[in-house]
Amino acid sequence: MNSTSTDILISEVGPRDGLQSIKSIMPTEKKNAWIDALYTAGIREIEVASFVPAKLLPQMADADQVVRYAKNLPGLTVMALVPNLKGAQAAIEAGVDKVTVPVSASAAHSLANVRKTREEMIEEVKKIAQYRKDYAPHVKVEAGIATAFGCTLQGLVPEDEVIWMAEQVIAAGADESGLSDTTGYANPAQIKRLFKRLKAAIGDKAGAAHLHNTRGLGLANCLAAYEEGVTSFDSSMGGLGGCPYAPGASGNVVTEDLVFMFEAMGIKTGVNLDLLFEARQPLQIGVPNEAIYGMVPEAGVPKGFEPATHWSN
């Protein structure tokens, strides 16, 4: 078991972001086996599902079953993506600890992704936050700002609009708002600038960095965010994921590589790398026709490598 405190939180989004972005449908029992393996490796926050109509995302048709299974793992924060109040109600009924609401800074992406304008999504966050307050005050509401660094549909997204969106969702009742590089456009200088502005605007309600490796800058961008004080990072095992409504948005940051980078730097993630590598097996068994990636799992850790997180049996 992990015997130390952690410096940062690695939030695994593969069971949601990864699986909804591929054609394969992983059977429920194989999802559960993968979640088990991630948990055994020390991952303590997992986005396990999206609560959306099965006809839109058949990969997520078993969302309530997966949530109920994951809730049996002690100390795990079980998270789900919800695009609207109806999804939030279903997720809360299933027992989630946290809902994430995708709110796009890009007006074009907002319409493509959730079929609502940005202003309508702010109202949706307000409804979700009120429902949570009335019926499930223990549940956290995160409203991440998607396409915060650029959009394949719209192009440039003004930084002022990104910060405005974050301020609006916090005012609407969200507990936190992070920034998502949905399309993999960001560079480290941009990451530093925007996260600094985010923290100045909403203080300790500034949330996770959800960054993609589409153009090879995922780890560099995570490090830049860390240097600006970000302590929560979304990533996906094997680099699965993207966004089905943002053309070309492939490649989440690889969890295994991200954990290695931080552990090699002496930053505790609470994750056991050996067990994390082992968790790739149930993932590959569950989606045998999909390619999974990762530099460190392929190359192995360097000789003499000492992780920052120490585990004891």
The residues assigned a catalytic role are: 243
Q: How many CB atoms lie within 10 A of CB 296?
A: 20
Q: What is the 3-state secondary structure (H, E, C) of the chain?
A: CECCCCCCEEEECHHHHHHHHCCCCCCHHHHHHHHHHHHHCCCCEEEEEECCCCCCCHHHCCHHHHHHHHCCCCCCEEEEECCCHHHHHHHHHHCCCEEEEEEECCHHHHHHHHCCCHHHHHHHHHHHHHHHHHHCCCCEEEEEEECCCCECCCECCCHHHHHHHHHHHHHCCCCEEEEECCCCCCCHHHHHHHHHHHHHHHHHHEEEEECECCCCCHHHHHHHHHHCCCCEEEEEHHHCCECCCCCCCECECEHHHHHHHHHHCCCCCCCCHHHHHHCHHHHHHHCCCCCCCCHHHHHCCCCCCCCCCCECC
